[in-house]
Amino acid sequence: MEQMTIGEVANEAGVQPSTLRYYESIGLLPPAKRVGGKRRYTAEALDRLGVIQVAKKAGFTLSEIETLLSGFSETEPPSARWKTMAQEKIEEVEALIERAQGMKRLLVEGLECECLRIDECAVLINQDGREA
C-alpha cells in the first residue's frame, strides 16, 4: 500500500499539514505510522478526511464528527450512525434558520426606520411593549 507524506495528504485533501496533526491529536485521524520520524499515511487517511469534510459541510462540530466516527457500537453501520446524528442536526439547523429569518426581518424593518429618538423606535419595541 502506497504511503504518503503529510504534505502530500494535506495537498490532496485541501487542508494544511497542521490540520492533520490536530486531527490526530484529538482522535479524528488515527496516528500515522512513522518512517524515519516522519508521518506516513495510507489512502485510508484521505477517505477519513473526506468523511470529515462532508460532515463539516453538513454543520457537524469536530466533537460530533468524532462521535460519528467512533462513538457508536462497532455493529452499528455508518448509515445508521449518520441517520441518528443527521436527524438531530436537522432540528438544530431548522432552529438556526428560524433565528436567522427573525434577524433578517428585524434588519429589514430597521432599514425603514426614520425615528428621531431611539427610545421611540417601533423597531426596537415589540408588540407587548418590552424592548427587543
The pLDDT score that the predictor gives to residue 70 is 84
Check residue 124 and give its pLDDT: 66
Least trusted range by pLDDT, from 47-61, 93-107, 109-123: 109-123
- What is the mean pLDDT of the segment spanning 88-93? 95
pLDDT attached to residue 127: 39
**55-75 as b/e: b if 16+ CB within 10 A:** beebebeeebbbebbeeeeee
**Mean pLDDT (whole number) for 45-65:** 94
* N-terminal to C-terminal alpha carbon distance within the chain: 61
Provide the whole-model pTM.
Answer: 0.74
Bridge partners, 40 (sequence order) = 33
Q: Is the dihedral of CA 100, 105, 110, 115 positive or negative?
A: negative
Task: Indicate the burial class of 29 (C-beta count within 10 angstroms; 0-12, 13-18, 19 or more).
Answer: buried
Supply the pLDDT for residue 128. Answer: 43
* Phi, psi torsion values for 60, nearest 5 degrees: -75, 140
Asked whether 51 and 69 are in contact (CB, 8 A), the reply is yes
Model pLDDT for residues 30-49, shown as the tens digit of each residue: 999 999 999 999 999 999 99
**Using an 8 Å Cβ cutoff, are 3 and 35 in contact?**
yes
Whole-number pLDDT of residue 125 = 64
pLDDT bin (cut points 50, 70, 90) of residue 123 is low
Q: What is the pLDDT of residues 17-32, one digit of tens each?
A: 999 999 999 999 999 9
Give the C-alpha separation, 15 to 11, whole Å.
6
